[in-house]
Amino acid sequence: MIHYILIILLIFTPFQLRANNDVVNNLIIDDNFEISVFADGINTPRQMSEGNKGYIFVGTKSGQVHAIKDTDKNGTIDQNILIADNLNDPAGVAFHDGNLYIAEVGKIWKVEDIETMLDKNQIEEFKLQLITDELPNDSWHGRKWIKFDKDGSFLVNVGAPCNVCLKDDKRFASIMRFENGSWQIEANGVRNSVGFDWHPTNGKLYFTDNGRDWLGDDSPDCELNVLDFKGEFFGFPYRHAMNVDDPEFGDYEHGFAYKDPILELGAHVAPTGIEFYESNHFPKEYRNNAFITLHGSWNRSSKVGYKVIRVMFDNDGNVVDSKDFLTGFLEGETVLGRPAAPFEMSDGTLLISDDKANMIYRVTYKKS
């Protein structure tokens, strides 16, 4: 059955920038890059997606979904349109084949022909068409990341509804694919992935995973993984990171073969987004690198994460190095911002959402 709800226009006027200079001025990036505020005042921005006509769609933790646009191409948005409100943590958004898809905790919605309606100012009665309500509705690790594959199917994460546990519902602790109206499990034993993307050359799915809590400040690491075949098992809840057996479930006879992460990111750093870079705007050594946002720790004695890292790969997609790309969100133990998701725009610039400072930053390369 198809369901519809009313979406109400919030803003369709020039957008006034209210940047928090304390955050922006504290950010550190290589001298060859510039960072500026692309959008300000969006409450808890998370995943972003770009349409065909310059609109950037932004999911949030606050129940809203926005369409923003830089109409005069000056690097700062001048339109901010609220296209959905009062949803259940609609952090995930994806634009595909002219339509906008919104991922709540337990549902996926679609707005058809979204940009045509935006251009014609036909926004007073947008219709949200329900694609599926068959996802678990648990809020613990329930926040979604959504991405379309080349064949038109899409993937979402379904986190474990706990710190560490075993559930009979096999959808938990997985990445799932929605195809031809039904769900299939793409990856198993994934505690809480809030970010995945396909490598531009080898076509494999790479995804981050958040490590469990309460095993100390430095264990276990959060992870970067690669999926080699459908249904591969990545350890949760029996084993974490490379070799950390769970104190409660580590001795279970479960019969799974473990797939180790390809990169340990550090304990409690909380990866919440990943994007492979495919453009030529940045120097050529950045092409096919992955940018990962580390949202930052919440229960460690001293804070870690709170930065964007860059991961480099060889021609076969194996990790060769990783390094900091954007820092300064953390000043001592004071949290100024929390990077939430990276997104490469069609012009090759990189957007970074910050769901604490309520801003979206734009990273450009200063060409000589």
pLDDT band at 286 (very low <50, low <70, confident <90, very high): very high
Per-residue pLDDT tens over the stretch 104-158: 999 999 999 999 999 988 777 688 999 999 999 999 999 999 999 999 999 999 9
Q: For the residues 27-53, what does the mean pLDDT come to?
A: 96
Residue type, position 257, single letter = A
- Asked whether residue 32 is domain-assigned, the answer is yes
Task: Read off the pLDDT band of 13 (50, 70, 90).
Answer: very low
CATH of the domain at 159: 2.120.10.30
**Percent of the chain scoring above 70 in pLDDT:** 93
Kindly state the tokens that stand for 326. 């954007």
Does 9 reside within a domain?
A: no
User: Between these two residues, 137 and 20, which has the higher pLDDT value?
Assistant: 137
Q: How many domains does the chain have?
A: 1
Inside any domain, residue 265: yes
Structural domain for 305, as ranges: 17-45+135-365
**11-26 average pLDDT score:** 58
Q: What per-residue confidence (pLDDT) applies to 20?
A: 57
Percent of the chain with pLDDT over 90: 90
Report DSSP letters for 84-150, one per residue.
E-S-S---EEEEETTEEEEE-SS-EEEETTHHHHHHTT--TTEE-EEEE--S----TT----EEE-T
Q: What is the pLDDT of residues 207-257, one digit of tens each?
A: 999 999 999 999 999 999 999 999 999 999 999 999 999 999 999 999 999
Residue 42 has pLDDT above 80, yes or no: yes
pLDDT computed for residue 21 by the predictor: 65
Domain annotation covers residue 2: no
The pLDDT of residue 38 is above 60: yes
pLDDT band at 6 (very low <50, low <70, confident <90, very high): very low
Q: Is residue 335 part of a domain?
A: yes
Averaged pLDDT, 323-335: 97
First to last CA, the chain: 56
pLDDT reported for residue 123: 73
Q: Is residue 4's pLDDT more than 80?
A: no
Q: Which amino acid is at 355?
A: D
Whole-angstrom distance, CA of residue 67 vs CA of residue 43: 13
Burial state string for 352-362 with b = 16 or more CB within 10 A and e = fewer than 16: bbbbbbbbbbb
- Count CB atoms within 10 A of the CB of residue 276: 19
CA separation for the pair 349, 198 (Å, rounded):
19
pLDDT, tens digit, 9 for 90 and up, residues 347-368: 999 999 999 999 999 999 997 6
Per-position DSSP letters for 271-316, written without gaps between them:
EEEEEE---SSS-GGGTT-EEEEE---SSSSS----EEEEEEE-TT
Query: How confident is the model at residue 368, as a pLDDT?
Result: 60
Predicted confidence at residue 367, as pLDDT, reads: 76
Cβ neighbours of residue 210 closer than 8 Å, sequence gap 6 or more: 141, 191, 192, 193, 194, 222, 270, 271
Residue 110 placed within a domain: no
On average, the pLDDT of the chain sits at 93
Among 10-14, 89-93, 172-176, 233-237, whose mean pLDDT is lowest?
A: 10-14
The residue among 7 and 137 whose pLDDT is bigger is 137
**293-319 pLDDT, tens digit each:** 999 999 999 999 999 999 999 999 999
Band of pLDDT at residue 5, cut at 50, 70 and 90: very low
The SS3 assignment for 320 reads strand
Residue 36 lies in a domain: yes
pLDDT tens digits for range 154-199: 999 999 999 999 999 999 999 999 999 999 999 999 999 999 999 9
288 assigned to some structural domain: yes
